Amino acid sequence: MSATRPPRSFWIITSLAIFWNLMGFIAFTSQSFMSSAMLAELPPDQAELIRQTPQWLKGVFAVATITGLLGSFLLVLLRSAATTLFLISLVGVLIQMGYSLFATNALQVYGILQGLLLPLFVVIIAVYLYIFSRRCAAKGYLRRSS
Rounded to an integer, what distance in angstroms lies between the CA atom of residue 59 and that of residue 25?
13
Whether residue 146 is predicted with pLDDT greater than 80 in this model: the reply is no
pLDDT band for position 144 (50/70/90)?
A: confident
Q: What is the pLDDT of residue 57?
A: 97
Whether residue 32 is predicted with pLDDT greater than 50 in this model: the reply is yes
| Alpha-carbon dihedral sign for residues 53, 54, 59, 60 | negative
pTM of the full predicted structure?
0.92
Q: What is the pLDDT of residue 2?
A: 42
Percentage with pLDDT > 90 across the chain: 91
